Amino acid sequence: MAQQQAVEAVVDQLRGAPAGLQDRVRRGARHTPDQQPPHSASRPAQAPQGGAGEHVMKGVRRPILRYHGGKWKLAPWIIQHLAPHHTYVEPFGGAASVLLRKARSYAEIYNDLDGDVVNLFRVARDHGEQLRQALALTPFAREEFEASYAETSDPLERARRMVTRSLQGFGTAAASGERTGFRSTSTRSGTGPALDWRNYPDTLTAITERLQGVVIENRDALALMEYHDRPNTLHYVDPPYVHSTRSTKVRHNATGKSYRYELDDNQHKELAAFLKRLRGMVVLSGYPCPLYDELYSTWHRVDRHAYADGSRERIECLWLNSAALEGLAQLDFFQASNASPSPSFQTTVAQY
């Protein structure tokens, strides 16, 4: 009786939500807290679920790369908006900051088109101790930084050079192959570049452990999502930022690129059309802009103030499709069986 009253109290907040959402969530609420939500009848009862019901992992202390658009500081906020899921997919993986900090899911897939990035993740997963030792023996020196741009066919050395470019170079472009200056000093407070480099190897152990069991792919993002798409799949989509949202400095550098593989406006439109056809839950990251306002006008949007490159204030946004929003709502209904509606859910409904 108490559970039903709590559920109905939260349902009352859904007045005006899309037709059918209230009924679908009521049906999900009929499952007791000891039961799994009805995402998939085939999911093993013991399968772990990542998402909003889980805490941020504490073992990994830093990102594996300094990467343009990395979400390390935003990851806890993003994880709060990930509904419980069976399979987790990052099709535009980059530095995988969200994956590294979220609780494990039953199945996890990391993907990126950049072969250097993918190689680093595979080496960190499969040969983490060898990479740690190689980096520990690498001095923080201009000569090492300059030499790190040379190509090599050895996977371990290729990974070592990528980390060297990323941590010993200015900015975040070095991780994607663009030449930058040597990061000999820093005007910011906190750990200096040389000390940061000395401390980095010991952080790899936790990253190696977290990557165990993660499938690491080097495929087209749309093909990957289509292959893994199920109702209980959560796609966290963090594509290259729309060009019009980037700073003048980034948009007018020598190459006009922040990533090795970019998306133009037409490709962003193609991505939006594809995401709307998926059966699974989709959470999309980006900056607010007229293009996304048009493409995702029917999706739920959540904003947060953040700082790009550590100094410029920007608004980071998440767009959730109806499946992702419903998954969060169902999670709160399970919690409502023992408590009143949570403030976070009240905010979500108010923003619907």
Q: Percent of the chain at pLDDT above 90? A: 57
pLDDT greater than 90 at residue 352 = no
Name the token pair of 116: 């250097």
Tallying the residues shown for the chain, one arrives at 352
Report which of residues 154 and 336 the model is more confident about.
154
In a domain, 40, yes or no: no
- Which of 11-20, 81-90, 204-213 comes out lowest in average pLDDT? 11-20
In a domain, 39, yes or no: no
How many domains would you assign to the chain? 1
pLDDT in tens, 123-151: 999 999 999 999 999 999 999 999 999 99
For residue 274, name the pLDDT band (cuts at 50, 70, 90).
very high
Q: Are 225 and 234 in contact (CB under 8 A)?
A: no
In a domain, 15, yes or no: no
As a whole number, the mean pLDDT across the chain is 79
pLDDT in tens, 59-117: 899 999 987 767 888 999 999 999 999 999 999 999 999 999 999 999 999 999 999 99
Give the separation between CA 87 and CA 234, rounded to whole angstroms. Answer: 6
pLDDT greater than 60 at residue 285 = yes
Report which of residues 144 and 176 the model is more confident about.
144
Which spans in 148-220 are helix H? Answer: 155-168, 193-211
In a domain, 6, yes or no: no
In a domain, 26, yes or no: no
Query: Beta strand 107-111 with 87-90: parallel, antiparallel or unpaired?
Result: parallel
In a domain, 352, yes or no: no
In a domain, 29, yes or no: no
Q: What is the CATH number of the domain that holds 104?
A: 3.40.50.150
Residue partners of 38: CB distance under 8 A and separation at least 6: 27, 28, 31
Range of the domain at 131: 46-320
**pLDDT value of position 241:** 87
In a domain, 148, yes or no: yes
